[in-house]
Amino acid sequence: MNPSVKIIINDQPLELPAIVGSEGEVGIDISSLRDQSGSITLDPGYGNTGACTSAITFIDGEKGILRYRGYDIAELAQKSTFIETAYLVIYGELPTPNQLSEFSDLLTENQMLHEGMRFHFEGFPPTAHPMAILSAMINATSAYHPNLINKREQRFSYHAARLISQVRTIAAFSYRKAHGLPAIYPKTTLKYTANFLHMMFSHPGEDCELKPELVKALDLIFLLHADHEQNCSTATVRMVASSRANLFASASAGVCALWGPLHGGANQAVLEMLEEIHQDGDDGTKFLNEVKNKSGHRRLMGFGHRVYKNFDPRAIIIKNQCDKVLEQLHKTDPLLDIAKKLEEIAIHDDYFISRKLYPNVDFYSGIIMRAIGIPLDMFTVMFAIGRMPGWIANYKEVMEDSNSRIARPRQIYTGPNIRSYTPLDARP
């Protein structure tokens, strides 16, 4: 028997159906609530609102569980690669060797930007933030593919591969442009992450050294970001997709949503915070006191999560990787010492414990990226590259759902009641 929930609104008893997810999560289906009662629900920030059913990613924030298509993130981090995981996230199953090689070939075939797109880069000022360029250029890609509305599976696979492959090329070109460096084209012989580092750091006539441990570390960062259920940017992608906008337009909106410091911009904000603490000669204690007494409206960036209330499983993987990378490079980083000190104090401090604030994935990822040589303003771009498979998978889910409707929330109006227009010369 399907479960249901009985509620009383204005003395009227109502019975609402409930949906149980494959991990036992219960959602009360309120789609008939307004018709039945005249009322709507109000949930600013959507902390208690499910906007869809989805078979892509499962998170249990209390237990610190994250699974893509049923596979635990720690197992994927240890055994898979970003591209294999991207296939899994988009198509639902781990690829066979043939499928993986076809997918990789499709990525390689699509890695070059349309030559016309190169001229768009020239229009941006040298001070442009790479996230602004990324969002604009992903959207501009739609202009080169007027038949995007065609939803045949073959075309979808093609556009999905194009997006995953080209986001990396666009990202590298925007870095080169911002630093006044000539664009470096991708190589067909290099794998995804190595190719990205090549486009970032090689010079015409001189290829950069691709240290395997750094390629692996960045590949892991991409993999750990591949999807994260209905966060702000993914929900944005789904919302835009619900209007039947094309894949590139939807992903471009995702980039904009990701940019903010409370979301993907947090990795940049963490490093800026650590640098500030370092420059102040503080060991973190003074800064944490400011955070706790809320005097400067500061937050401990890289801490806290809307869903994880115990620990973020990605943070543990990334912290271990961070130690490994610095050890392999024989590097020390004073910012890593400050980060560890902040974490040590915060996880034992009642302010953070009582609010269930723990390190999230962004707390340590920036230190790895810094060790790789990725500049600060490219950190969120790295997140966007990693998140692309998740956005594509969510876009696909919206498009394939025959019951999908345009996303259109309601509101409770709190403005003035009806009043008459006062002519300009009669206003005080």
Please list the active-site residues: 305, 362
Q: Is 302 in the site for ligand COA (CB under 6 A)?
A: yes
Cβ 351 to ligand COA, closest distance in Å?
Answer: 7
Q: 3-state secondary structure string, the chain?
A: CCCEEEEEECCEEEEEEEEECCCCCEEECCCCHHHHHCCCCCCHHHCCCCCCCCCCEEEECCCCEEEECCEEHHHHHHHCCHHHHHHHHHHCCCCCHHHHHHHHHHHHHCCCCCHHHHHHHHCCCCCCCHHHHHHHHHHHHHHCCCCCCCCCHHHHHHHHHHHHHHHHHHHHHHHHHHCCCCCCCCCCCCCHHHHHHHHHHCECCECCCCCHHHHHHHHHHHHHCCCCCCCHHHHHHHHHHHCCCCHHHHHHHHHHHHHCCCCCCHHHHHHHHHHHHHHCCCCCHHHHHHHHHCCCCCCCCCECCCCCCCCCHHHHHHHHHHHHHHHHCCCCCHHHHHHHHHHHHHCCCHHHHHCCCCECCHHHHHHHHHHHCCCHHHHHHHHHHHHHHHHHHHHHHHHHCCCCCCCCCCCCCCCCCCCCCCCHHHCC
> 114-150: buried (b, 16+ CB within 10 Å) or exposed (e) per residue?
eeebeebbeebeeebbbbebbbbbbbbbbeebeebee
The single residue among 129, 168, 198, 305 that binds ligand COA, judged by CB under 6 A, is: 305
Q: Which residues contact 406 (CB under 8 A, 6 or more apart)?
A: 242, 243
Spell out, one character per residue from 15 to 54, where the chain touches ligand COA: x when CB under 6 A holds, - when not.
------------------------------x---------
Any contact of residue 353 with ligand COA (CB under 6 A)?
A: no
Q: In the complex, what is the shortest distance from the CB of residue 168 to ligand COA, in angstroms, rounded to a whole number?
A: 22
Which CB sits closer to ligand COA, 216 or 306? 306
Give yes or no for residue 362 binding ligand COA (CB under 6 A): yes
299 near ligand COA, judged by CB under 6 A: yes
Binding mask 247-266 for ligand COA (x = CB under 6 A): ---------------x---x
> Rounded distance, CA 385 to CA 236, Å?
16
> Between residues 306 and 324, which has the closer beta carbon with respect to ligand COA?
306
CB closer to ligand COA out of 46 and 144 = 46
Q: Tally Cβ neighbours within 10 Å of residue 60.
A: 16
C-beta of 241: minimal distance to ligand COA in Å?
22
Residues in region 76-135 near ligand COA by CB under 6 A: none
With CB atoms as reference, the residue minimizing the distance to ligand COA is 304
Give the residue with the Cβ less far from ligand COA, 108 or 267: 267
Q: Does 240 bind ligand COA (CB under 6 A)?
A: no
Please tell me whether residue 291 binds ligand COA under the rule CB under 6 A.
yes
By CB under 6 A, residue 365 contacts ligand COA = no
Near ligand COA by CB under 6 A, which window of 134-142, 236-244, 250-258, 359-367?
Answer: 359-367
Of 59-67, 86-94, 161-169, 294-302, the segment contacting ligand COA by CB under 6 A is: 294-302
* Positions 265 through 284 that interact with ligand COA (CB under 6 A): 266
State in angstroms the smallest separation of the CB of 56 from ligand COA: 18
The CB-of-138 to ligand COA minimum distance in angstroms stands at 22
Question: Does 300 sit near ligand COA (CB under 6 A)?
Answer: yes
> Residue 187 or residue 299: which is nearer to ligand COA going by CB?
299
Residues 291/298, Cβ–Cβ less than 8 Å: yes
Q: Which stretch binds ligand COA (CB under 6 A): 8-16, 75-83, 193-201, 297-305?
A: 297-305
Among 304, 313, 366, 389, the residue binding ligand COA under the rule CB under 6 A is 304
Q: Which of 57, 81, 108, 360 binds ligand COA (CB under 6 A)?
A: 360
Q: Pick one of 113, 172, 218, 357: the residue that binds ligand COA (CB under 6 A).
A: 357
Q: Which residues bind ligand COA (CB under 6 A)?
A: 45, 262, 266, 291, 299-306, 355, 357, 360-362
